[in-house]
Structures are given as C-alpha cells and as structure tokens.
C-alpha cells in the first residue's frame, strides 16, 4: 500500500477502506477483515488499524459485533457518500475554484 | 513448569543433543571409528607400492595399537570442540543459551554424551570393524583387540598375574577424566581451544611438581616420613598396599572428575553473550 | 509486562547504558532506535537474559531473565543480528529445536518459509545470509512466544522480503505479545513499530506511542518554512518540518524526521514528553 505523505496513516487507511466499499470490493452487511488481518495485508501496526476502525465505527460505516468481528453497515455507502460530498463541497471544491481563478480558467466555459 | 529438571524436556534435549552430534561430528566419527579399515587399506596400498612382489603385506600389530590410541585421543579432543565448543561463539552460543531447557539439563546431557554415548558408540563401531577385519583378512590382520586373549594379555600386562585390575572401569574413568578436561577447555576458551587446554594441563603439572619439590625442599616431606608414611599406608603387606593404592587413585580420579564436571557446569550456566 | 528499573551496563570502563528505566507492555511492537553503539543490542541481550545486569533490574512478569529459567525461555524468543549456519536441513533443525517452545507450530514455520520463498529442505550452512535470517525469523514467529526480541531483523533481507517481514510480524504474532525490534533502518519498519523508543548514549530520549507523538509534535510537509521548527529537512518538493503541535492538528509521523528532531533537541523533547 502506498501512502500519501501528509495525512496520518490511520486516516489514510480509513479512507482507503471507504474507497473499497464504494468500488464494491466490500459489500454491505458483510464481514470486513480483522484488525490484524488488515494490518498484515497492508504492513501496518494493528494498533494503527484499530484506530482507523474506531473512526469508521464512529462514522457508522462499520459496526463491531463482539466476538465475531467488524461488519460493513447496511447504510455504509450512504454515510460515506454524504461525508465525501461534504468533504468535496467544503474542501476540494473551494480549492479547485481558487486554482481555476489563479490560472484564469473560465469555469462557465468548461461546463 | 519445573525449572531444574523435567524428564520429558530432558529427553527432548538429549535427542536434540544427539541430533546436533550427528550434524557436527558424524563425518569425523566415521573417519575415527573407521580407522581399522582405513589404516588397513593404507598399509596395503603402501605395501603394494614399495613391495617388489606387489603382494599383500601383513598389517603390523604396532599400527593396530597406534591406531586405537589415535582414535581414542582424537575423539576425546575433537568431539568436545565440534559439539560444545560452539557455545562460546556469539551466534551459535546465544541460540544455545536461549533454548528452553535448564542449565542442569544441558549439563547432564553434555556429561552423558561425552562420558557414555561417545565412548560406547566409538568402541562398539571401532572394535566391531577391528573384529570384522580380523575375520575378513585372517593372516594379514592381527587378532581382534576385543578377542578374549587380547583382553587377557592386556590385563596381564597391566596387572601382572595375581592382581586383577578392572581394566574396563579404569579405562572408562581415565576416558572421563580426559574428555572432561578437553570439554572444559572447549567451553572455556573462545579460540585455540586445544592448544590452550594443553598448555593449561602442562602448567598445572608444572605447578604440582613445584609444590611437591617445595614440600621436599622445605623438609615437610623427608626420607624419614616417606618411609613412615609408606609403612603406615602398606601395613607391611604388598597386597594391602596395592589395594589402598588403587583406592587412592580412584578417589583422586573421582575428585578430578567432580572438579571438571563442576567447572563445566559453572561455565555453561553462566556464559554471557 | 517488562519493568526495567535504573538499568546500567558497561563494557569494562566503557559505559553503554546508564540509568535506563521503562516499562514494556503487551500487545505492542516497540521500535528501538538509536545511533550505532548506543546499546540497542546490549539492551536486547539483557532483556533476553544473555547478559546479566550490573546495576538496576529487569523484571519480566516477576522473573529475572538472567536466571534463564526454562519457563521464561519458553515464553520468549531472541533473534540476534547474526544467526548461526548450523549443519542441518532447516526443517530438521526446526523440528528438533521447536519441541522446546510449547506454542511452536511446524505448520506455521513451513508457511512462513513459503511466504519468504526459502526452501525448508536446504542445508542451513549452504544458505545465503538473507535466507538464513529468514529461516530464523520464520522459526521465531512460529514459536508463538509472548516476548519476541529482534535485533536488526531486516538486515540482509532483500526488498521483497522486507514487505513480507512486515506482513508476517502482524500475521503471526498475537495481541498478548510484547515485541521489541531494534533497527537503524527506520524505513523498513515505518508503520510497523509503535511505540517508538529512542535510545541515546546512556539515556532514553523518547518512549512514546505514535498517537502521543502526533499529539505533541506536528510534521509539516509544506513548502513554507516555519521559524519555530525543531528540525527541517529539504525534500524535492518542499520541506519536512517538525515543530511542537500547539494547534493540535493531526499529521503523519515521519520516524526519520522524528529521530533527527529528537537528536537535535534532546532536553526540549524530553521535556515535551515527560509525564511529570
């Protein structure tokens, strides 16, 4: 797994799992790999992966069923979608517009 | 878990030690125990080269005796170094120390290997081959060392007619004494294990002789008390003298063995890497 | 749990460790970092019981490792930097030695050997350095011990093996294990080691989890210089800068930059991380 330079690893892992959910690799209601399995797969300390799972649980994307493991929530895609949309509108879009203005690109013409 | 001795763990350790012996010493063992055959082939080859008629030559008794001495000596020197000398090596030694068996078990296994397993294997194979040669090449190869007459002859040569020494136990005791000396040297010195051991033994002998000379020189032991001592010791009877002498020799040998075995124990349980 | 108290060790008159105190908890993979010669190996061998403490104490679940009791030895595995090329096939050696560790699994050993692409039927004395090291790593992981000490495990491993090693460490150790890995090849084990222990001549400069480090220090990968930076390193596209995390922003810990920042500001960093 290649990591982005700036973001903390545990956030990158959480984002990556969301991407895999969006692409359909992980399916709603199904079990996702355990902390240790996922750590082994990507070569990252299980404690770090546990932190990623914690934020995913907090966001309601996955749920922990004690003794069995973590499962992708039924409404995970909606939750990811809304938070991704929020991130796009609040962070990525303003940056995009700023850059377009800086370079003198006419946004209306593009669309 | 018992931290000193557990039969099952000790059994595993002994097997592990045997496996290591096979890995470390098997080739040397084959050469050492195979000396009757190897020296026979050598003698016949040399005979064929230097003998004008190119026929088989008789295997000299002297070679037979020298070869058994060589086998015993080399086994006593080489085995401890190959099998246990490595524990002073950082790489091998640290994994040896870290193997979960107790120091006592490791020590006991070492004692059994050097004092029982090696001599039994060596003599069984050596004498077996020696006997085989005497059967296969009668007339050329001398009588087998293990044959009844030879043992008797050796015993007689050692003890004279009357007193029957137990050659086996005496031989074993001196084997134990010698191999433990070389084992202590092997686990004690990091490099040049054999020469250093030899030097130590020599130095020890010199010191002993100095002490005894000093005793005589300072008059602690004079002609008078030696005579007196001998009288007391022998009780005026040569047979008693011999018996007492044997007991004394045995006690000294046992004390030496105890000191050597103790030294090995202290060394292998406290070695640091 | 490992409790180290006021530990000191010297080779002759050369003091290597002085007044070291720390605790090592289970379920963690400690990364022991430090420049050459600061005593990383010495500390590991003391933990394993290969050396005796000269002053201070090491207590592992109430036991002193130098007593070398089988009950503790069976609970730990020490992988030295240089391993011994024994005259044996790897599988025969593993079978024979594995019996002494109650949790040893031959199946696991063979599986890890396979992942490392080392032939278990090869004589160990004919193996290359890397193959031999991988054989010992496989064995150590297959022992399933509670304590695992590894001295420079990635030394001598080729590039694919390093990734396999990272994966195997996670896959074949349990949540109860305490793992201590010493290394000066930080990049090999980035994202694996957490907490980080930075050892200096005779002293522990840092012993903190990645979470704690990112809480107290900020790693800036930007293009503008920060005047209060503790450490700055030029990269092709900008800088890595380390400064105190006053705004409590989240950032990715870069262990090399951390190491250098700590070394340049020893007392300051100790102050930042002190728990008193």
In a domain, B150, yes or no: yes
In a domain, B68, yes or no: yes
Q: What single-letter DSSP state applies at residue A29?
A: T
Q: Is C192 on the interface with A (CB under 8 A)?
A: yes
| pLDDT tens, residue by residue, B132-169 | 998 888 888 888 887 766 666 666 666 554 444 566 77
In a domain, B208, yes or no: no
In a domain, B39, yes or no: yes
Q: Is C268 on the interface with A (CB under 8 A)?
A: no
Residue ranges of chain C whose pLDDT lies below 50:
none
Mean pLDDT of chain B: 88
Q: Do B90 and C68 touch (CB under 8 A)?
A: no
Q: Which whole number is the average pLDDT over B52-76?
A: 88
Q: Is A18 on the interface with C (CB under 8 A)?
A: no
**Nearest CA of chain C to the CA of A69: how many Å?**
15
**Nearest CA of chain B to the CA of C68: how many Å?**
7
Residue C82 contacts residue B108 (beta carbons within 8 Å): no
User: From CA C178, how far away is CA C146, in angstroms rounded?
Assistant: 6
Q: Which whole number is the average pLDDT over B160-184?
A: 78
Query: What six digits make up the tokens of C262?
Result: 């700590």
All residues of chain C having their beta carbon less than 8 Å from the beta carbon of residue A41 are 167
Q: Is A107 on the interface with C (CB under 8 A)?
A: no
User: From CA C85, how far away is CA C116, in angstroms rounded?
Assistant: 18
| Neighbouring residues of C91: CB distance < 8 A, sequence distance ≥ 6 | C110, C120, C121
The pLDDT assigned to B220 comes to 67
In a domain, B263, yes or no: yes
Outline where DSSP puts E strands in chain C: 2-11, 14-24, 28-33, 55-60, 76-79, 147-151, 178-182, 196-200, 203-208, 217-220, 231-235, 238-244
The pTM assigned to this predicted structure is: 0.89
% of chain A with per-residue pLDDT over 70 = 95
Q: Which whole number is the average pLDDT over A31-51?
A: 93
**How many structural domains is chain B composed of?**
1
In a domain, B82, yes or no: yes
> Which residue range(s) make up the domain with B143?
7-190+222-270
The pLDDT assigned to B164 comes to 46
Q: What is the ipTM of this complex?
A: 0.92
Q: Is C69 on the interface with B (CB under 8 A)?
A: yes
Residue C214 contacts residue C253 (beta carbons within 8 Å): yes
Q: Do B92 and C86 touch (CB under 8 A)?
A: yes
In a domain, B203, yes or no: no
The pLDDT assigned to B162 comes to 43
Compare CB distances from C194 to A5, A12, A45 and report the shortest one's residue.
Answer: A45
More confident residue, C71 or B217: C71
| pLDDT tens, residue by residue, B119-136 | 999 999 999 999 999 888
In a domain, B117, yes or no: yes
The pLDDT assigned to B221 comes to 66
Compare CB distances from A44 to C28, C191, C252 and report the shortest one's residue.
Answer: C191
């Amino acid at each position: 797994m290649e990591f982005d330079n700036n973001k903390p690893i545990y956030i990158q892992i959480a984002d990556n799992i969301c991407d895999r959910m969006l692409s359909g690799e992980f399916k709603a209601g199904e079990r996702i790999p355990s902390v240790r399995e996922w750590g082994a797969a990507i070569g990252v300390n299980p404690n770090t992966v546990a932190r990623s799972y914690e934020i995913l649980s907090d966001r309601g994307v996955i749920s922990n069923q004690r003794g069995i493991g973590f499962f992708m929530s039924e409404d995970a895609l909606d939750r990811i979608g809304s938070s991704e949309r929020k991130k796009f509108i609040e962070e990525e879009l303003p940056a995009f517009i700023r850059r377009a203005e800086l370079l003198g690109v006419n946004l209306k013409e593009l669309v | 878990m018992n931290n000193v001795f557990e039969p099952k763990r000790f059994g595993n350790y002994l097997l592990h030690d045997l496996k290591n012996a096979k890995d470390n010493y098997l080739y040397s063992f084959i050469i050492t125990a195979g000396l009757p055959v190897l020296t026979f082939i050598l003698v016949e080859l040399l005979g064929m080269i230097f003998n004008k008629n190119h026929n088989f030559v008789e295997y000299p008794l002297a070679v037979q005796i020298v070869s058994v001495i060589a086998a015993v000596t080399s086994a006593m020197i080489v085995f401890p170094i190959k099998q246990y000398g490595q524990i002073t090596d950082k790489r091998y030694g640290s994994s040896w120390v870290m193997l979960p068996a107790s120091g006592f078990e490791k020590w006991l296994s070492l004692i059994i290997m050097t004092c029982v397993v090696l001599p039994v294997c060596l003599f069984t194979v050596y004498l077996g081959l020696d006997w085989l040669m005497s059967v296969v090449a009668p007339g050329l190869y001398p009588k087998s060392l293990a044959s009844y007459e030879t043992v008797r002859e050796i015993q007689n040569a050692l003890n004279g007619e009357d007193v029957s020494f137990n050659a086996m136990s005496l031989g074993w005791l001196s084997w134990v004494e010698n191999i433990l000396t070389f084992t202590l040297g092997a686990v004690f010195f990091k490099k040049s294990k054999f020469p250093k051991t030899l030097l130590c033994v020599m130095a020890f002998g010199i010191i002993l002789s100095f002490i005894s000379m000093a005793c005589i020189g300072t008059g602690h032991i004079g002609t008078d008390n030696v005579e007196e001592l001998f009288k007391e010791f022998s009780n005026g009877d040569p047979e008693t003298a011999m018996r007492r002498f044997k007991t004394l020799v045995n006690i000294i040998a046992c004390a030496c063995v105890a000191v050597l075995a103790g030294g090995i124990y202290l060394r292998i349980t406290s070695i640091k890497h | 749990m490992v409790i180290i108290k006021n530990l000191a060790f010297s080779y002759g008159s050369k003091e290597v460790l002085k007044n070291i105190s720390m605790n090592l908890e289970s379920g963690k993979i400690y990364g022991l970092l430090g420049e050459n010669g600061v005593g990383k190996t010495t500390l590991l061998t003391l933990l394993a019981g290969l050396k005796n403490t000269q002053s201070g104490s090491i207590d592992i679940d109430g036991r002193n490792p130098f007593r070398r009791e089988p009950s503790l030895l069976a609970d730990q595995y020490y992988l030295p930097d240089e391993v011994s090329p024994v005259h044996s096939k790897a599988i025969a050696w593993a079978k024979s030695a594995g019996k002494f560790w109650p949790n040893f699994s031959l199946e696991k050993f063979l599986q890890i050997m396979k992942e490392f692409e080392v032939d278990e039927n090869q004589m160990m004395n004919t193996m290359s350095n890397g193959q031999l090291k991988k054989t010992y790593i496989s064995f150590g992981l297959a022992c399933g011990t509670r304590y695992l000490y590894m001295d420079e495990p990635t030394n001598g491993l080729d590039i694919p093996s390093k990734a396999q090693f990272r994966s195997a460490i996670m896959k074949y150790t349990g949540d109860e294990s305490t793992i201590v890995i010493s290394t000066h090849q930080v990049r090999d084990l980035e994202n694996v080691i957490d907490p980080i222990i930075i050892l200096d001549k005779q002293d522990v400069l840092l012993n903190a989890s990645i979470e704690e480090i990112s809480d107290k220090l900020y790693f800036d990968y930007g293009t503008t210089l920060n005047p209060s930076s503790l450490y700055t390193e030029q990269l092709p596209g900008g800088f890595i800068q380390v400064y105190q995390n006053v705004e409590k922003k989240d950032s990715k810990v870069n262990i090399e930059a951390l190491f250098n920042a700590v070394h340049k500001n020893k007392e300051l960093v100790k102050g930042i991380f002190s728990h008193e």
